[in-house]
């Protein structure tokens, strides 16, 4: 597709990346093999298309090298504007500055970004593969997103805390500084990427972790760099909305809102700037604004940045009315598309009904489709074992199993749920906090949870549950008999008499999603779309609103048997006897108008890295995240709107863990969409992730953590002092797994270290057997095996050729 009135090249309607370099003020396509390499003296235009649930999402970036000219920068910006017109005004536009690229931009280059010296003006060009006449030194930085800058070919360029890559064409040597952490040392993706994309796979890679252990590689480095004379030396949530217009040739910026941001603030006749605390600037262009206003979007954003005193490298995104990105939409409390029905207010507003359409969910699909587990917030089918304790005198007291599912607002409870997966138990520990519980009880609940977690090997997923905000799985484990009493306690010695009249609102269509909640016993609490139970000293009424379904009525009957032992009397809305209204203190208006679900349905899950490795605690977003982005040195925050997960890496420090919990609460408090502060915060430990967490990740590998550690050990043992050729490795047949780190017994039994598949820990061969093979060989499950003393494990492994 081209634009006849411009110098635009052919733009293909395809998914993925297309990149152009600005040469002599024209766009010249960059070879795909060179994607990810950028000359510091040039500017680039980048087009990215990806498929989403709402169609194709398009992003347009122009990238500014630190040594590029003003003319090149202006040309790149102009081409982006022209391409936006050709593409129907749908793309989101970004301005990128070298060294300060947005998370979205960096996510395109999983193997890293390389900044090359020079550019078009100095005669450099992007080249194809198999170039060996090269001698350069790259300074590699970054954990989640790797970037490499070409630096002076000298020992003076090195420091002890980073990774450096000496590129000699046919040989690539990665030098890991002695102060690097494990995650940085294991980053060999950039070297592999250069070998595969620029050298056609025919270069050799060597790694230096300890100079004394790598004399051959050090000799090569000294030949190139000379003898070394001296040793190497060592909030982003707040959003403000501004209206921007010109007056007497001056740019006028007027603040119109802070938080929560609502969609109606965006007027189609105007352009708006959203300032995300100086972290990112969004320019929203109304569809009825003038062409001149639309064309000056970037210049207005730059003027705004200067007026606010922000650094010139601040990220800018230009958003078109009707083509908003998911990231932009989730800054708002609620976002409604044109074709969607408008909501009529907040949940539980007087005179309006919160009616959510219940969809039957096949629980058996959870394991086959982990993404469903995430969407439905279920770790399993709720068929596991349940244990409940009440916090009494600051200690745990077991609750009578006959009372399971009955929670009182004056108490705190611990609920331990145990379920089996891959032949071993997994645990979810719920901390339910009553609305009227004392501060001491809430604190004791948290402390007892820690102790209980220790008892089960620190393997439990911890879920803080605020009264009234019970997650789906919590409802399911009580099989349709979850009852929340507003106040009081379930303690036997209480002196407070129970109310003679109680009213319960019942919601749910089956055993997996039903909950009865006590509400004030008056007529104004009723809701035409639900079933209510009115328990009196003589009878228990089942009041069925006009909008309730048959399934809801059946579930209410089940709950009624728990709430009251009196006779049950079913009545329909409009057919109530006088005694019914008398028990409620007389007739009164109640919610009887239809309202739709209030929720940001366009919210995309977001992952943040929580780290203090720079000396201060920061949260960095990971765009387009996957399991690889979960760093065992850090704590990660996953925001799925309905829940906040804190994933704790096994090597994270105590400070990061403590700060992450506080930051999760602050994150909710300062989110521009005005988030619910009672949103559950769930603590997940590395290696014990439940399905409702892993389902948010594409192609989750449940065996990754053990494989990663063994890969790293193998890497340290075998590649420190040797240059090895990957092309040689590939020439021999490699046994394959089933995609989940599982291998057949023939590949593992009676094999030497060198005969094992890459990544298999030779000290744990049995771990890579399937559950069926394991049981067939050892006559027991993996869980039972690992409960045995070490010496017994070793003897059995020797017996079966797996030692």
pLDDT (tens digit, 9 = 90+) per residue, 597-636?
333 445 678 888 876 655 555 677 777 777 878 888 888 9
Q: What confidence tier does 1 reach under pLDDT thresholds 50, 70, 90?
A: low
Rounded CA-CA distance 713/191 in Å is: 19
Inform me whether the pLDDT recorded for 485 exceeds 90: yes
Query: Phi then psi for 771, rounded to 5 degrees?
Result: -60, -40
Cα 636 to Cα 467: distance, rounded to the nearest angstrom:
26
Would residue 476 be called left, alpha or beta, if left means φ above 0 and alpha means ψ between -120 and 50 degrees? alpha
Cα distance between residue 242 and residue 271, in whole Å: 9
- Residue 548 CA to residue 529 CA, distance in Å, equals 5
What Cα–Cα distance (Å) separates residue 673 from each residue in 8, 258, 342, 705?
39, 10, 17, 35
Q: Is 507 left (phi over 0), alpha (psi -120 to 50) or beta?
A: beta
Strongest mean pLDDT among 13-17, 456-460, 555-559:
555-559
Strands 92-97 and 315-320: antiparallel
Least confident of 609-623, 716-730, 745-759: 716-730
Which residues have CB under 8 Å from 490's CB, separation 6+? 390, 399, 403, 406, 407, 408, 411
Highest averaged pLDDT of the listed ranges 47-61, 220-234, 399-413, 485-499? 399-413
- Cα R_g (the chain), whole angstroms: 31
Mean pLDDT on 236-265 = 63
pLDDT at residue 406 in the model: 95
pLDDT at 664 > cutoff 70: yes
Judge contact between 318 and 89, C-beta under 8 A: no
> Using CB atoms within 10 A of its CB, is residue 699 exposed (0-12), middle (13-18) or buried (19+)?
exposed
Q: Are the beta carbons of 530 and 516 closer than 8 angstroms?
A: no
- Three-state DSSP class for 162? coil
pLDDT at 21: 92
Mean pLDDT, residues 422-431: 88
Please provide the DSSP assignment of 612-671 as one string: -TTSS-EEEEETT--GGG--TTSEEEEE-SS-EEEEE-TT--HHHHHHHHHHHHHHHHH-
How far apart CA 491 and CA 135 sit, in angstroms, is: 77
Q: Are 477 and 417 in contact (CB under 8 A)?
A: yes
**Predicted pLDDT of residue 714:** 34
C-alpha pair distances (Å), 349 with each of 355, 367, 592: 12, 38, 11
pLDDT at 338 over 60: no
Asked if residue 792 has pLDDT above 70, the reply is: yes
What tens digit of pLDDT does each residue of 519-564 get? 889 888 888 888 999 999 999 999 999 888 889 999 999 999 999 9
Cβ neighbours of residue 492 under 8 Å, at least 6 residues apart?
A: none
- Among 19-28, 430-439, 587-596, the minimum mean pLDDT is found in 587-596
For residue 447, what are the contacts with CB-CB under 8 A and spacing of at least 6? none
How far apart are the C-alpha atoms of 764 and 742, rounded to whole Å? Answer: 12
- Confidence band, pLDDT 50/70/90 cuts, at residue 802: confident
- For residue 49, the tally of other CB atoms under 10 A from its CB is 17
Query: What pLDDT is stored for residue 234 in this prediction?
Result: 31
Give the pLDDT band of residue 353 (cuts 50, 70, 90). very low
Which is higher by pLDDT, 593 or 53?
53
Mean pLDDT is lowest, of 129-143, 236-250, 453-467, 532-546, for 236-250
What is the arithmetic mean of pLDDT over 210-239? 71
Grade residue 126 by pLDDT with cuts at 50, 70 and 90.
Answer: low
Confidence of residue 721 (pLDDT cuts 50, 70, 90): very low
Res. 734 pLDDT band, cuts 50 70 90: very low
Q: Are 591 and 526 in contact, with CB atoms under 8 Å apart?
A: yes
pLDDT at 375 over 60: no
Higher pLDDT, 658 or 376: 658
pLDDT at 600: 44
Please check the confidence at residue 195 and state whether its pLDDT lies above 70.
yes
**For the chain, what percent of residues have pLDDT higher than 70?**
77
Residue 259 has pLDDT above 50, yes or no: yes
pTM > 0.85: yes or no? no
pLDDT band at 515 (very low <50, low <70, confident <90, very high): very high
pLDDT category of residue 582 using cuts at 50, 70 and 90: very high
**Residue 174: which residues within 8 A CB-CB, separation 6 or more?**
140, 163, 164, 165, 188, 191, 205, 206, 207, 208
């Amino acid at each position: 597709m081209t634009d006849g009135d411009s110098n635009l090249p052919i733009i293909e309607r395809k998914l993925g990346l297309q990149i152009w370099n600005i040469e002599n003020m024209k766009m010249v396509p960059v070879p795909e093999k060179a994607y990810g390499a950028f000359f510091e003296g040039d500017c680039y235009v980048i087009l990215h298309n990806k498929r989403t649930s709402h169609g194709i999402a398009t992003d347009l970036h122009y990238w500014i090298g630190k040594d590029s000219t003003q003319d090149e920068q202006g040309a790149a910006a102009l081409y982006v504007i022209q391409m936006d017109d050709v593409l129907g005004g749908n793309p989101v536009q970004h301005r990128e500055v070298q060294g300060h690229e947005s998370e979205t931009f960096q996510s395109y280059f999983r193997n890293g970004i390389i900044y090359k010296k020079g550019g078009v003006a100095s005669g450099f060009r992007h080249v194809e593969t198999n170039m060996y006449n090269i001698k350069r030194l790259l300074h590699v930085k970054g954990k989640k997103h790797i970037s490499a800058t070409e630096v002076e070919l000298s020992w003076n360029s090195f420091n002890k805390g980073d990774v450096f890559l000496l590129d000699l064409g046919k040989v690539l040597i990665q030098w890991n500084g002695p102060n690097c952490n494990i995650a940085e040392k294991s980053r060999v993706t950039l070297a592999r990427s250069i070998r595969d994309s620029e050298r056609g796979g025919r270069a050799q890679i060597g790694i230096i972790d300890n100079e004394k252990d790598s004399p051959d590689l050090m000799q090569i480095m000294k030949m190139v760099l000379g003898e070394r004379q001296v040793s190497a030396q060592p909030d982003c949530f707040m959003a403000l909305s501004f209206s921007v217009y010109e007056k007497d040739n001056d740019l006028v910026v007027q603040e119109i809102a802070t938080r929560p941001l609502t969609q109606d603030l965006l007027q189609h006749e105007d352009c708006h700037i959203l300032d995300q605390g100086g972290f990112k600037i969004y320019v929203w262009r109304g569809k009825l604004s003038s062409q001149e206003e639309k064309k000056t979007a970037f210049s207005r954003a730059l003027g705004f940045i200067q007026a606010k005193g922000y650094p010139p490298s601040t990220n800018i995104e230009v958003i078109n009315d009707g083509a908003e990105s998911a990231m932009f939409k989730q800054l708002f409390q609620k976002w409604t598309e044109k074709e969607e029905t408008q909501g009529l207010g907040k949940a539980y507003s007087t005179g309006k009904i919160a009616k959510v359409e219940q969809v039957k969910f096949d629980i058996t699909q959870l394991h086959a489709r982990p993404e469903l587990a995430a969407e439905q917030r279920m770790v399993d089918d709720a068929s596991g074992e349940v244990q409940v304790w009440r916090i009494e005198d600051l200690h745990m007291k077991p609750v009578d199993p006959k009372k399971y599912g009955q929670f009182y607002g004056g108490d705190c409870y611990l609920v331990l749920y145990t379920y089996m997966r891959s032949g071993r138990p997994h645990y979810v520990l719920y901390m339910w906090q009553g609305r009227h519980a004392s501060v001491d009880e809430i604190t004791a609940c948290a402390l007892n949870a820690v102790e209980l977690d220790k008892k089960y090997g620190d393997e439990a997923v911890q879920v803080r549950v605020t009264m009234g905000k019970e997650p789906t799985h919590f409802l399911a484990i009580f099989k349709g008999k979850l009852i929340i009493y507003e106040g009081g306690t379930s303690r036997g010695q209480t002196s407070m008499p129970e109310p003679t009249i109680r009213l319960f609102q019942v919601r749910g269509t089956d055993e997996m999603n039903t909950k009865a909640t006590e509400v004030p016993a008056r007529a104004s609490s009723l809701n035409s779309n639900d079933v209510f139970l009115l328990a009196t000293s003589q009878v228990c009424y089942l009041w069925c609103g006009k909008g309730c379904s048959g399934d809801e009525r059946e579930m209410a009957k089940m709950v009624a048997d728990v709430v009251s032992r009196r006779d049950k009397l079913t009545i329909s809305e409009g057919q109530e006897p006088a005694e019914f209204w008398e028990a409620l203190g007389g007739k009164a208006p109640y919610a009887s108008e239809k309202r739709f679900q209030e929720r940001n349905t366009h919210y995309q899950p977001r992952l943040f890295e929580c780290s203090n490795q720079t000396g201060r605690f920061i949260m960095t977003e990971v765009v387009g995240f996957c399991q690889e982005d979960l760093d065992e040195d850090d704590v990660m925050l996953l925001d799925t709107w309905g829940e906040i997960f804190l994933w704790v890496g096994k090597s994270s420090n105590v400070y990061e863990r403590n700060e992450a919990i506080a930051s999760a609460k602050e994150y909710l408090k300062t989110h521009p969409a005005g988030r619910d502060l009672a949103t559950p915060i769930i603590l997940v430990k590395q290696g014990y992730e439940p399905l409702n967490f892993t389902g948010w990740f594409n192609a989750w590998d449940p065996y990754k953590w053990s494989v990663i550690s063994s890969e790293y050990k193998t890497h340290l043992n075998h590649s420190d002092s040797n240059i090895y050729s990957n092309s040689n490795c590939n020439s021999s047949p490699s046994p394959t797994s089933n995609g989940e780190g599982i291998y057949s017994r023939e590949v593992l039994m009676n094999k030497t270290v060198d005969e094992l598949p890459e990544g298999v820990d030779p000290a744990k061969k049995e771990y890579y057997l399937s559950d069926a093979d394991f049981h067939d060989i050892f006559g027991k499950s993996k869980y039972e095996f690992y409960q045995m003393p070490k010496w017994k494990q070793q003897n059995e492994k020797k017996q079966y050729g797996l030692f």
